[in-house]
Structure 1
Amino acid sequence: MRDGAAAWFGVRLEPLSAAHVPGLTAVTHDGELWRNRLTSVPEPDRVAGYVAAALAAQERGERVPFAVLDDDTGEVIGCTSYAEILPAVRRLEIGYTWYAGRAQRTHVNTSAKLLLLAHAFDVLGYRTVGWRTDNLNTTSQRAIERLGAQRDGVIRGQQLRRDGTVRDTVLYSLTGDEWPPCRDRLIGRLAEHSAGEPSSSGGDSGTRPGGARRVPESGN
């Protein structure tokens, strides 16, 4: 997936590039995401630098960033990444995730995470996928927990927020043994919520990109 796009349930992931800067700039305006002190969403005039930093981290082998698109319209609706990649122990994290306001609390996060988790476990053969989030960001914590991840603990005083306050960081993980039932549950949830909403390509949205539209959640 690093070298090509992947899509499922109406959401497409593409390797991040400078071509996504205009779309991501528009995303930051949808809900004025950069004003939330609990996130690392860049201000609109800093999106190009944010993307450049993500691509530089990719060159160093530290991160694999993706743009998240609506597969029906091709519109950029967010971004996400693999990060904290530890090949020796077959562990990585999913982070740097943010979505346009209109895409939050919809199917988008579940669909994108299914693509990322399936690739990490089923293609790359990783054993553990982790997440980390601000202890005050309860919306993100609920979204991660809805995916089936287990709360591992809290690192106190771990980093500064954008407003200069010190945050505690909540850690979550999902193991390869936990992945199969998690995958089936999430696919079932998306299929249930997509029932009765036609895909633009026709057919079953569980086997090709399609019409799931309302699964309440958002987050990392």
Structure 2
Amino acid sequence: MITVVPVTLEFNGLRLEPLALHHEEGLRAAASDGELWNLRVTSVPEPHDTRQYIATALETRDRVAFAAVDTRSGAVLGTTSYHDIVPAADRVEIGYTWYARRVQRSHVNTSCKLLLLSHAFDTLGAGVAGLRTDCENFASQAAIEKLGAKKDGTIRHHVLRRDGTVRDTVMYSILKSEWPAIKRALHERLERHSRA
């Protein structure tokens, strides 16, 4: 049975540290880089809602949220979380992930996913890591599939979007048995990126 607690993880110039109210200004700046709250298919808070966004993340029982921080500059680049944790099934999901526009399509997402997946499988002993996204968030679906996750299916008419429409949710997962090959592939991808 897994137990997920706040922890600090570091790799490849990035640090995932437990999200806290002192990250408010940095998280607001990250969201403002690209006005990400205007994207209908994400959960990025509007600037005036950043503090409440953090408070909600901290109050949610089965969620452990992180700030993604550049280790050199100390800048907050975005956020990601473990959520929908099912200890008895050794299941954890990774989501509520978004980053400043300037670091999208960089090494940041791959590095953060590698940190979270490594911690989930190699330290916590998870049997499965799930990921989910809006059926209309094609960029997110492509990124999840590039990680090596398998598509489990779609939950139709699942949850409300910020605009009041109801989204279908596309579900993915990585099994513990699949993790070694995926881990190697992610390290290789990061090596290619650093050479480019």
TM class by shorter-chain length?
over 0.9
> What TM-score, normalized by structure 1, do the two folds share?
0.85
Question: Where does 1:1-220 land on structure 2 (aligned, <5 Å)?
Answer: 2-57=5-60, 60=61, 62-195=62-195
Unmatched tracts of structure 1, length 5 or more:
196-213, 215-220
SS at match of 1:132: strand
Q: State the one-letter code of the partner of 2:64.
A: V
CA distance in 2, matches of 1:88, 1:4: 21
Instruction: Give the drift of 1:159.
Output: 1.3
Unmatched tracts of structure 2, length 5 or more:
none
SS at match of 2:177: coil
RMSD: 1.2
SS at match of 1:178: helix
Go from structure 1 to structure 2 and tell me whether the alpha carbon gap of 1:151 and 1:46 turns closer, same or farther (over 3 Å shift): same
Instruction: Give the drift of 1:98.
Output: 0.7
SS at match of 1:177: helix
User: Quick check: 1:9–1:190 contact (8 Å CA) kept in 2?
Assistant: no
User: Quick check: 1:2–1:15 contact (8 Å CA) kept in 2?
Assistant: no
CA distance in 2, matches of 1:96, 1:31: 17
Corresponding residue of 1:199: none
Instruction: Give the drift of 1:2.
Output: 4.3
> What TM-score, normalized by structure 2, do the two folds share?
0.95
- State how many pairs are aligned: 193
**Which has the larger share of helix?**
2
Residues 172-200 of structure 1: CA deviation (Å, up to 9, x unaligned) = 000000000000010011012213xxxxx
Q: State the one-letter code of the partner of 1:48.
A: R
